[in-house]
Amino acid sequence: MAAPAVAANELIRFESTFNRARIGGAVITFALGPFFPNIGIQHVILFGALLLAQAGLVAVLLRTERFVRHPAKVAQFIFAIDLFVVSYAIFLFAYDPNWTTYIVGILLVIAGGFRFGSAGAFGASIFMAITYTLTATYRAQVFGYPTEPQRIAFTVTIYLLSGFLMAGLVRELGTLRAQREAFDHQRAETEALRALDKMKSDFLAEMSHDFRSPLTVVRGALEILQSQRPGPLTDRQQELTERADRNVRRLEEFSEDLLEMARIEHGAIELERVEIDACNLVREVVEDHRALAHDRGQTIELDCVP
């Protein structure tokens, strides 16, 4: 299965690297070509110039708007030129009795794998195997060089194995990339959750502070009423003020719990377990709702032994 197409910025890096290889190939051709006596100097110059022209064309294509919009198609076009140029090089140096230029086809297998994944690696290996076989046959027919079937079979096998290995390498690289992207995504989510948790803690702390301020005022007013300084209270009024005071205290405790929760999440305090009187807690709840039940003609009875 072919690997997903690489992004445009990755293709730019790949093609820039391959372009340096093309320039290096031109330098090697100009430097070592004259040492192959069976190859005319004009062919050496032509091939070196062809490599430089291709490098210049690729450099221009990488800066075009078309490459930005359709990087894969432009890369396919460049790859097709690479296949043609390398095939021409293999054919050109076939004049040499000690012909070994076909080994550069492995570079095309590597380039195809990095560009287009498994499909590029296998495609290049098959193309190079066919090119090598046809060129070896041509050498035998035109120059009379012996054709060794076992050597051809060995070289073709090497091409195909290189394609297979490159495809596996590309798959592994794709897996590593997916794992890295998943890790980066998970890390970003973790950071977002931490930021959200901090916002929640800050909100709880601020809400607790803002909640306690009006409660303090209400509690102060209730204390004044309970002291009967404004005037005497009836038994019913006294009961209501006591109930209101009890609920204000409960709200204050709730506010304090919110503040402690924020502190706990920040690691400022540790939880301390204490025993409570469950009967007393239930009794307070019953007393708070007894008047409401009485108004509705209902009765609440509590049977709880501390």
Check whether residue 240 and residue 283 sit in a common domain.
no
Helices (H), 4-104: 8-32, 41-61, 65-69, 71-92
Question: Is residue 222 located within the same domain as residue 123?
Answer: no
Say if residue 57's pLDDT is above 90: yes
Please check whether residues 258 and 286 belong to one and the same domain. Answer: no
My answer on whether 257 and 206 are in the same domain is: yes
Confidence (pLDDT) at 268: 58
- Report whether 75 contacts 115 (CB < 8 A): yes
Alpha carbons within 13 angstroms on the beta-carbon side of residue 179 total: 6
Are 123 and 74 in a shared domain? yes
Residue 278 has pLDDT above 90, yes or no: no
Express the helix, strand and coil content of the chain in percent, nearest 5 each: 80, 0, 20
Q: What is the pLDDT of residue 270?
A: 63
Do 15 and 143 fall within a single domain? yes
Q: Do the domain assignments include residue 125?
A: yes
Rounded Cα distance between 29 and 52, Å, is 11
pLDDT digits (tens, 9 = 90+) for 170-195: 888 888 888 988 898 898 888 888 88
Contacts of range 261-264, beta carbons closer than 8 Å, 24 or more positions apart: 261/204, 262/201, 262/202, 262/204, 262/205, 262/208, 263/205
Is residue 166 domain-resident? no
Residues 6+ apart with CB under 8 A from 115: 6, 11, 14, 75, 79
What integer is the mean pLDDT of 286-300? 78
pLDDT band for position 7 (50/70/90)?
Answer: low
Residue 175 lies in a domain: no
| pTM check: above 0.75 | no
The pLDDT score that the predictor gives to residue 5 is: 41
Distance CA 207, CA 212 (A): 8
> Mean pLDDT score of the chain, rounded to an integer?
82
**Residues 225 and 281 placed together within one structural domain of the fold:** no
| Tokens of residue 145, six digits | 């060089």
73, 113, 188, 279, 300 from 286: Cα distances, Å:
78, 77, 49, 10, 7
Same domain, 92 and 46: yes
Determine which of 36-50, 125-139, 205-219 has the lowest per-residue pLDDT on average: 205-219
Higher-pLDDT residue of 191 and 199 is: 191
In the chain, the number of structural domains is: 3
pLDDT tens for 112-147 read 988 888 899 999 999 999 999 999 898 888 888 887
More confidently predicted of 87 and 292: 87
Mean pLDDT (whole number) for 252-277 = 71
- C-alpha Rg value of the chain to the nearest Å: 42
Q: What percent of the chain has pLDDT over 70?
A: 91
- CA atoms 64, 68, 73, 74: torsion sign: positive
pLDDT at 267: 62
Whether residue 295 sits in one domain with residue 263 = no
Looking at the fold, whether 266 and 285 belong to one and the same domain comes out as no
pLDDT at 63: 87
CATH of residue 222's domain is: 1.10.287
287 in the same domain as 261: no
Among residues 126, 147, 168, which one ends one of the domains? 147
Q: What is the DSSP string of 67-81?
A: HHH-HHHHHHHHHHH
The DSSP letter of residue 12 is H
Q: What DSSP state is assigned to residue 1? A: -
CB 165, CB 172: distance < 8 Å: no
pLDDT at 4: 39
The C-alpha atoms of residue 143 and residue 159 are separated, in whole angstroms, by 25
Q: On the CB side of 215, how many CA atoms lie within 13 Å of its CA?
A: 19
Do 203 and 300 reside in the same domain of the chain? no
Give the model's pLDDT for residue 80.
92
CA 33 to chain CA mean position, Å: 47
Which residues span the domain enclosing 256?
Answer: 195-274
C-alpha span between 106 and 94 (Å, rounded): 17
- Percent of the chain having pLDDT more than 90? 18
